[in-house]
Homo-oligomer: A and B are copies of this chain.
Amino acid sequence: MTSDKIREVALRHFTRGGYEGASLADISAEVGIKKQSLYNYFTGKDELFFAVFRDVAAREMLFVEEYLKQNPLPLEKVLYGFLDGYRKRYEREDDTKFFLRMAFFPPRHLRQEIVEYCNHHLDAMGTLLEPFFESAASAGEMHPDVSAERATVAFTAVLDGMFVEMLYGDMERSLKRLDASWYVYWRGIRNS
């Protein structure tokens, strides 16, 4: 399907160049068609962008849902596995990088729509994550001084910290940061 191919190539171009830096000429050339032919599938650049954006958001959410659907495990395993799973996915796919870029630096004229989408995404992610902390708290896996909410918020910060280091591109540094962040984070919330 040509439409899928276009979205796939466009994702890569939007990720590397941003909205302004991605040109329809380059995208269509890589797909193997003329840029005017893109208009058989999308009404314009904005619609192509949002098609890509929706694809990415759906896959991101699916990834999180699928991971958290697994059988209940000790919190330590769930959380570290989550970080490591996301790390591996980040290496393979442009999805997360695209999503971060557009969340942080949206093109001005699409800003509002993007921000709304991202807020919804973050809320949904919090809703999926927090129960794990709450049941872990009930089970005595977490230190009683650390509330489930604080632990959740701090965990998403660890996740973002890892993303940021990966954005920057140095794999060795990323692993070192993941190790250090997780080590300190888990010491900070565990009950022992």
A residues contacting the other copy or chain, number (CB 8 A)? 46
Q: Give the CA-CA distance A104 to B170 in the complex, in Å.
A: 11
- Pick out which of these stretches binds chain B: A28-36, A52-60, A181-189: A181-189
Cβ of A51 under 8 Å from chain B: no
Which parts of A161-190 form the interface with B (CB within 8 Å)? 161-165, 167-169, 176-177, 179-181, 183-189
Bound together, the chains give a CA A183 to CA B81 distance in angstroms of 23
Choice from B105, B157, B177 contacting A177 with Cβ under 8 Å? B157
Residues of B within 8 A of A5 (CB): none
Which of B118, B168, B176, B188 lies in contact with A184, CB distance below 8 A?
Answer: B188
- B105-A150 in contact (CB<8A): no
Q: Does A9 contact B (CB under 8 A)?
A: no
Which stretch, A16-24, A40-48, A71-79, A84-92, touches the partner chain B? A16-24
Extra 10 A-B pairs, beta carbons < 8 Å, given A105-B167, A151-B184: A18-B105, A104-B168, A105-B105, A143-B187, A145-B187, A153-B176, A157-B158, A161-B161, A186-B188, A187-B188
For residue A68, CB closer than 8 A to chain B, the reply is no
Is A131 interfacial (CB 8 A cutoff)?
no
* Chain B residues with CB below 8 A from A12, complex form: none
**Once the chains are docked, how many angstroms separate the CA of A19 from the CA of B16?**
13
* 4 shortest interchain CB distances as A-B pairs: A188-B188, A157-B161, A184-B188, A153-B180
